[in-house]
Structure 1
Amino acid sequence: MIDHITLRVRDLPRTREFYRQALAPLGYRVAYEAVHEGTGVLGFGAEMPGVGFKIDTWFVTTEPASGPSHLCWRAGSRVEVDAFYAAALSAGGTDNGKPGVRAHYHSNYYGAFVLDPDGNNVEAVCHAPE
C-alpha cells in the first residue's frame, strides 16, 4: 500500500495549476505550499475513508525533474474519470488515452490517461462496473 508519492518538477506554479484542475474532480485540493531551504514544496490531498483528510501527492522543485513516471488516482465513478480527463486537458495536459474500458486489465477497468507538463503519464481509474 502506498501512503504518498513525491515527484520532482521543473515549474511548480505550472504544476500547481495543472494538478489543481486535473485532480479537483477526484476531490483533491492544494493542501500545502511552502519553500524549504530554497526548494518549493506542494502537496495535494483529499478525504480518505477511515482516515480523514490526507496529503498523498507531493511535488518539489529540484533538478533534474522526475520522470517520466506513471501516477494513477482511483476515481469513485466513471463520471469522475471523464471529468478528470476533461479537466486535465483543459489545464494544458496532452491526451495519452481517452476515457474507456481497458479490458486487457480487467472487464471493469475504466481509465483515462493524460501527460502532465513534465511528461508524466497521469491517470484516473474506476474499477466498478458501469
Structure 2
Amino acid sequence: MTTPSGTRPPLVSHVSVGVSDVARAGAFFDAVMAPLGARRIMEHAVGIGYGRSFPEFWAARPHDGGPSACGNGTHICFNADGPDAVAAFHAAGLAAGGTDDGAPGPRPEYAPGYYAAFLRDPDGNKVEAMCWIAPSAAS
C-alpha cells in the first residue's frame, strides 16, 4: 500500500498517551514539540494531535472514560534535528511542568552516537527526544 503521494507509509501511523487534563497536557506538549519542529495539527474535545504535517502523536483522555495511567516501561521517542533541539525539548518540558527522567547527553550504552533526553509529562508519561551525533563526540 502507498500513500496518495506514492510513498510507503511509516510503520507507525500515530501514538496516543492518556492524559487526565487536556489543557495541562496541551501546555506541556506545545512546549516540547516546538523544538522538534512539530505543532498542534488537530484538536478535539478529548485530545490534541501533534505532528509536522500529520497528527502522529496524540495526548487524549482515554476513550473508555476511565482514568489515564502511564504504562510502566512504555515511552515515546521523538526524532530531533540535533543536540540543541534535544536540550531545548528537555528545558521546555521542565518549564511546562514536566519532570526530568534523564538529562540531555550521549547514551553510548544504547548505541554509538545516540544522544537523548527523557521527561515525564504531568501525567507521568515518559517521552524522549533523540538524535544521532558523531560517535567520537559522544564520548
TM-score by length of 2: 0.81
- CA distance in 1 between counterparts of 2:115 and 2:47 reads 31
Q: State how 1:1-130 maps to structure 2 within 5 Å.
A: 1-35=11-45, 40-46=46-52, 53-62=53-62, 63-68=66-71, 69-129=74-134, 130=137
3-state SS in 1 of match to 2:47:
strand
Which letter maps to 1:34? H
- CA distance in 2 between counterparts of 1:66 and 1:54 reads 25
- CA distance in 2 between counterparts of 1:99 and 1:41 reads 28
Which letter maps to 1:57? F
Offset at residue 116 of structure 1 (A): 0.5
- CA distance in 2 between counterparts of 1:81 and 1:3 reads 23
3-state SS in 1 of match to 2:33:
helix
**Which structure has the larger Rg?**
2
- Structure 1 segments, 4+ long, off by >4 Å, are none
Deviations 1:96-120 (A, max 9, x none): 1100101011110000011101111
Identity between Structure 1 and Structure 2 (%): 39
Which letter maps to 2:107? R
Aligned length: 120
Higher relative contact order (CA 8 A, sep 6+): 1
- CA distance in 1 between counterparts of 2:88 and 2:127 reads 14
Deviations 1:43-101 (A, max 9, x none): 1111xxxxxx1210012213221413311101111111011011111111111110010
RMSD of Structure 2 on Structure 1 (CA): 1.2
Q: Is the 8 A contact 2:15 2:58 kept in 1?
A: yes
3-state SS in 2 of match to 1:43:
strand
Structure 2 unaligned residues grouped into runs of 5+? 1-10
